Amino acid sequence: MEIEHLSFAYPKTTTPQLDDVSFTLKPGQLTSLIGPNGSGKSTLFNVLTRQLVPTAGTVSIDGQAIADFSARAYAQKVAAVQQHNPLYDDLSVQELIRFGQSAYHFPLSEAADEAVIDEIMAFLQLTGLKKRSMQALSGGQQQRVWLALALAQQPEYLLLDEPTTYLDLHFQFRFLQLLKQLNQQKHLTILIILHDLNQALAFSDHTLLLANGKLAAQGAPQAVVTPANLKTYFAINSELVATSSGQQIVQLPD
Ligand SMILES: Nc1ncnc2c1ncn2[C@@H]1O[C@H](COP(=O)(O)OP(=O)(O)OP(=O)(O)O)[C@@H](O)[C@H]1O
């Protein structure tokens, strides 16, 4: 996915919320998108998921502008998991996940590929919950269902906007491990908005740092999550220290 000179301004605003942003989502990479509050991360996510139309620049996949894809063709390429998802209380887990297959079979019929759905439910440990209604699930379980719905689209790109916000530490870690597995085993290309810089360091191959709507830095996470960048863009003093396993982590001052 190529993002070239992308700009976006909400109506009636004087400065753009995205300003000449360019980067590439390389196939097979897990990319983290970080940046302070209000830096434009969700706006960028909404442009990439076609919920907002850019004021300038292009987003293309395999050389074709995303605006030129039909809804179904785009759903086969790109799936999204949002921070807030609507609650479909009356639907069972299995029924909701089947909707992901409408990228291929619409109107959704018996033609939905049940083997695909069963595999995804097994992978995300949802099989035992498949008959439950969404309202009878915990926040962490619901978030796995939304991920399953996205995977049922069998996309090439998975875009996630702070998907771990409502998860406790255990499920945050588990969710990110699942993403890493999907990335490594199924070669899914992933872009994830993260606030936790240690998660960005631990889980991503590539990091994008957005500040005031501009791409302030990009590269290997260790080259972007640096004390100098944290000072400049997050106004904090920090150190990077190595754990016993060699993993770099951000340490804040006492
Ligand atoms: N609908 C809107 N109309 C006008 N301005 C908006 C709208 N939505 C967001 N903005 C502004 O656009 C800028 C970028 O917001 P955005 O939500 O993309 O940031 P973010 O990096 O995702 O922030 P956070 O980390 O707080 O989630 C902010 O200044 C915000 O106030």
Residue 128 pLDDT exceeds 70? yes
Structure tokens at 215: 């791409």
The answer for residues whose C-beta is within 8 angstroms of residue 180's C-beta and 6 or more apart is 30, 203
Task: Report which ligand 1 atom has the smallest distance to the Cα of 83.
Answer: 27
Lowest average pLDDT, out of 21-35, 206-220, 236-250, goes to 236-250
Q: Which atom of ligand 1 is least distant from the CA of 195?
A: 25
Bond into 155 cis (ω within 30): no
Q: Which of 8, 43, 196, 234 to mutate to test the pocket of ligand 1 (most atoms within 8 A of CB)?
A: 43
Amino acid residing at 53: V
DSSP strand pairing (56-61 vs 64-65): antiparallel
pLDDT of residue 234: 95
The residue nearest atom 7 of ligand 1, judged by CA position, is 10
* Minimal-distance CA residue to ligand 1 atom 13: 38
Q: Nearest residue CA, atom 1 of ligand 1?
A: 10
| Segment 16-61, tens digit of pLDDT | 999 999 999 999 999 999 999 999 999 999 999 999 999 999 999 9
The DSSP secondary-structure symbol of 115 reads H
Kindly state if the Cβ of 46 falls inside 6 Å of ligand 1.
no
Band (107; pLDDT cuts 50, 70, 90): low
Contact in structure between 100 and 150 (CB atoms under 8 Å): yes
Q: What's the confidence (pLDDT) of residue 111?
A: 59
Give the span between the Cα atoms of 204 and 182, in whole angstroms. Answer: 13
pTM of the predicted model as reported, rounded to 2 decimal places: 0.93
Decide if the complex's ipTM is over 0.95: yes
**pLDDT surpassing 80 at residue 232:** yes
Q: Tokens for 69, please give them.
A: 């894809």
Q: How confident is the model at residue 110 (pLDDT cuts 50, 70, 90)?
A: low
Quote the pLDDT of residue 231.
95
